[in-house]
Structure 1
Amino acid sequence: MKVESNTDIEKIISSNKQYFDSSVRIAQKLFEEKLYEDCISYIQKTAAFGWFNFSGYYKSEQLEILLAKIQEKILPISSHQKKHAKTNRVLHICSEVHGSGGHSKLLYNWIKNDNSKKHSIVSTRISIEQLENVSQIYLDDISNLDLISVKSHSKIESVKLLNQLLLNDYDAIILHIHPDETITNIVFSQKDITTPVLFVNHADHVFWVGVSIADTVLQIRESNIAIDSERRGIAAERQVFLPIPIEASSELNDETNYNGDTINILSTGTSYKYNPNEKYNFLREAYKIVEENQNVIFNIVGLRPDSAYAKEYLHERIVLHGGVSASQLADIEKNSHIYVEGFPMASFTALLQVALRKIPLVLHYDPLLLFKLFSEHPDNAVIYPKDLNQWHDNLKALIRDKKYRIESAEKQYDYILNNFSIDVWKSKVAEIYEMFDNQPHSFWFPTKDVFYNGDNEKLLVTIDKQKFSHYDFTEKLSLRGKLFVWLMARDKNININYGGKKKLIRYFSNKI
């Protein structure tokens, strides 16, 4: 698997920035020609590009403003009556949810652990049936849960379906949306919506849309407050630290009576989070560990076994599970002796989940601030290795010394239980609800965009990439508009599918 050099990475960020900037201009052209449906879809595509192909931006002033302008065109008449009393109802809005993954767990753990309110879930991208099926995976009883879908073949229709809900009849609206979600920005840019909107920043390391409609951003890492004050222009008073709500397992992994020789190591994360770069190569280090320790089986959940990266490091004792269900993951965790945080990019929910099973942790070595969940607490064995050698030493000590494993697990478990437990989370949520009792929703004009090109950003460029079609959603433009799109496309980007001459001729043909 090819690993880009720093020079390559700088070229990619520059190329991505050029494409993103040109896409914003194309979205504005679609708006000028009153192609609002295509404009919304194009904005979503541009935001998805910014999410998967880092462009040096963490938010877009122009896209946020453009979505608010679209609202004025497609929802010109106010329909929301002001709420006069508390209802003890909370509305959770998601793009989509899945049977596994930290994002979905975060939403359902909120509902499971907050009995003070009646909860409803709205999805913008999956059907009622799909929403019910996923909800049943996480919750024992969904009979008291209102499930709503506003999914439609038309973005404007989805906007109108969401807008038909009595949005001011809730005490709070919680956004658990994807970084490229457009529907919520359009609806919540309306002045007559008074229910406070809270944005769960579960994708804190990437570009996302939503800074203009979030009354408060709920940060899963306290360090993010200062970072997002700078990079997204969100004032510190509009941000609150809310730890990931992880329920301590009733089945703790107790090694006291384990006398076997086999040591099962576990690491969990979405496949792209393991993609190597010049500094970090997780599978290479896992390979070294199993070669040096014949009693070790290294389980990696989430990493696809058919990927080119995986095929470089095939080993009979490196087991790549790919995606698994929550129950399958629980079975793997139950038989694990050590958890290793993935790199270059960590998975915080997975980390906390195993820590509360009393499984000892080896944290990411020399992590960038963007991927660091804890402050260091050596007395609690919460330490980020300074370099790769220290990482190897820490992991080998846990593999070879049972007493050290048990002591580390105890210390880490106590720290995380006292700082990330359900009780801590519940008290924080109660404070947040109280904070918004008399604070209405506002539209926040976004600050000017800043381009970032530091170490964090260079790492983001190497993590995930997706191909996009340059001409999607622009086919209804006038000939002048199409020519504008073509001019914007002259600086080609490696992550864009431009097609060939035939496609370009077809693109222009219906206007000639």
Structure 2
Amino acid sequence: MFQSNKIKKLIFRSNLYDSLIFSQALIEDINNSDYYNLDITDIESALIDKIFSLVKNDLPRKYSTSKDTLFIISQGYITGGHTRLMENLSQMMPNKCPLLITRTTEDHVINRLERYFSTITKCFNNKDDLVYIQKLSNEIQAYEKVILNTHPDDIHTIIACALAKKINSSMKIYFVNHADHLASFGVTVADVWFEISLCGQQLDKDRGFSINTKKSFLGIPINKQKNQFFQPVSYNYNPQGTSFLTAAAAYKYNINENNSIEPLARRILSLNCANQISFIGSGIETNPILLPLKNTYSERLHFISSLPYDEYLLLTQNTDFYIDSYPITGGTAFVEQFINGKPCIGLRSNFYGYTPLDLIKRDTVDEVIELLTQKPPTQGFISDLQSKIFEVHGFENVKYRFLTTLYENVFFQNPMVEYIPQKPVNKSKKLHISKGTRKKGLALDKKMLIKLLTLKAFGKK
């Protein structure tokens, strides 16, 4: 792998604090660059070896008690899908499980999480990395099963898991790859790698390192009754005027590889002088991609930074069509609206395969408009699509896959492989090292960093 051995040596021979912050900054640059030719398993291994060499004489010879299952999350959020995914998984367990939170999380989020877990332990970094990792390891080592829902850069928790496995050799770690469009620390400690999309599966295949652990498809559960997945959906575009809604974090609408939602939004607004589009998302009102549209269609283009949930539901009920965010998909909001009976549209992008509803998306703006105005999907197509959606997202179906893997060691293939084509990853040829990472790297080894930055595979940023 490209220069991973040099970086591994650089990390191993530097002081602990500098090694950790450089590694976290580096994985952020890897993800921001879409660069896949650097083996992060080498970085993980170097840090694990480094910590183990420092604490091996202090490790207990065996774990004190044997408990069943622990959930771990880096940081909980009140919005977005990552914390919701963990909450849903916790409800599938035979009994309530304990939760370990490894980064500062707001009290009102913890109050919400108390509904789902038997106990919540907060173990935050006190700026002494070695003590922090040992505390985490002490919390983890007593469990037979550990379900990781960690952030991509949460190397402290991954190292703590590695130490815990050295003490408790029967422990199994299940990594929920909830941020699967990114590279994540955790590959070296996971016994099972839970996949949630085709996009993530393809990225894992195309990365510059191999995930040698067992892989099993999980999917994103939607906690609704089976009959709700089969509500009537009608694609009736009103030529007299139609209201559209799209909701996601503002960054999901940013231009990616020259792809933007602006041309689709412009065509929809130009179709009819009564058409309206509402964008909901934090920071959406200042997104520069959409400002030209706002100047042209100020009365029919609405930006809403946030809405109380009840008002959001009311707005969706009074909307005719839902548009998935683009070029980055909006997550479960897209398919949830469809399950609620709302016709959905969207453009295909490199972020794909999170839901069978991708089959309703089109490659071009013209094809989306044709779907809206001339060739709506047939009822047979919609019925078949609903069955596929239930197979992937039905709560009981995800629960079956999850628990069967957890307790019977059975692994599942992604059913979407059969009907959604996988795409090759557009790899970047250069790893753009940010100014912040360079500054952190100087603390490790100035000469080594300069050598790395002068190599052709590293770009300036």
Select the residue among 250, 264, 270 that pairs with 1:291: 270
Matched, 1:66 2:41: no
TM-superposed deviation, 1:99: 1.4
Q: Give the Cα–Cα distance (whole angstroms) in 2 for the partners of residues 357 and 80 of structure 1.
A: 54
**CA 1:48–1:279: 2 relative to 1, 3 Å:** closer
Partners of 2:232 and 2:61 lie apart in 1 by 55
| Deviation of 1:83 (Å) | 7.9
Change over 3 Å in CA distance of 1:409–1:229 after alignment to 2: closer
TM-score calculated relative to the size of structure 2 = 0.80
**SS of the residue aligned with 1:118?**
coil
User: Deviation string for 1:85-117 (max 9, x for gaps)?
Assistant: 6x4x42222221211111121112222x22413
Counterpart position of 1:28 = 9
Which digits, 9 at most, give the CA deviation of each residue in 1:359-390, with x for residues without a partner? 2222433x44x52334589xxxx434243321
Residue 122 of structure 2 corresponds to which residue in structure 1?
148
Aligned to 1:192: 167
| 2:362 corresponds to | 385
- Structure 2 gap ranges (5+): 411-422
Code of the residue aligned with 1:318 in structure 2: it is: L
C-alpha distance in 2 between matches for 1:466 and 1:353:
38
User: Is residue 98 from structure 1 mapped to residue 91 from structure 2 by the alignment?
Assistant: no
TM-score, scaled relative to structure 1: 0.72
In 1, Cα distance between equivalents of 2:40 and 2:214: 18
- The aligned residue for residue 156 of structure 2 is 183
Number of positions where the alignment pairs a residue of Structure 1 with one of Structure 2: 433
Matches for 1:300-449 after TM superposition, within 5 Å: 300-302=279-281, 304-314=284-294, 315-316=297-298, 317-322=300-305, 329-365=312-348, 367-368=349-350, 370-374=351-355, 382-396=359-373, 412-436=385-409
Matched position secondary structure for 2:285 = coil
Report how far residue 279 of structure 1 moved.
5.2
- Using a 3 Å threshold, how does the CA distance of structure 1 residues 143 and 371 change in structure 2: closer, same or farther? closer
In structure 2, relative to structure 1, the CA distance for the partners of 1:144 and 1:386 (3 Å cut) is: same
User: Partner letter of residue 192 of structure 1?
Assistant: I
Q: Deviations for 1:157-214, whole angstroms, at most 9, x for unmatched residues?
A: 321220121x243342111111111112212223223321111112222222211111
CA distance in structure 1 between the aligned counterparts of 2:306 and 2:130, rounded to whole angstroms: 34
CA gap of 1:143–1:221, structure 2 versus 1, over 3 A, is closer
When residues 434 and 78 of structure 1 are mapped into structure 2, their CA distance, relative to the original with a 3 A threshold, is same
CA RMSD of aligned residues (A): 3.8
- Amino acid corresponding to residue 120 of structure 2 in structure 1: D
SS at match of 1:150: coil
Check conservation: 1:246, 1:422, Cα contact below 8 A: yes
| Alpha-carbon distance in structure 1 between the residues aligned to 2:228 and 2:111 | 22
* In structure 2, C-alpha distance between the alignment counterparts of 1:323 and 1:70, rounded to whole Å: 45
Alignment deviations for residues 292-317 of structure 1 (CA, whole Å, 9 cap, x no partner) = 13333212233622122222321332
Equivalent in the alignment of 2:416:
none
CA contact (8 A) 1:58 1:208 kept: no
- Alignment CA distance shift 1:43-1:204 (3 Å): same
In 2: Cα distance, 1:350 partner to 1:148 partner: 30
Alpha carbons of structure 1 residues 116 and 83: separation in structure 2 relative to 1, 3 Å: farther
- Go from structure 1 to structure 2 and tell me whether the alpha carbon gap of 1:489 and 1:263 turns closer, same or farther (over 3 Å shift): same
Compute the displacement of 1:226 (Å): 6.3
Q: Is the contact made by 2:237 and 2:372 (CA closer than 8 Å) also made in structure 1?
A: no
Q: CA contact under 8 A between 1:247 and 1:353: conserved in structure 2?
A: no
Alignment partner, residue 457 of structure 1: 426
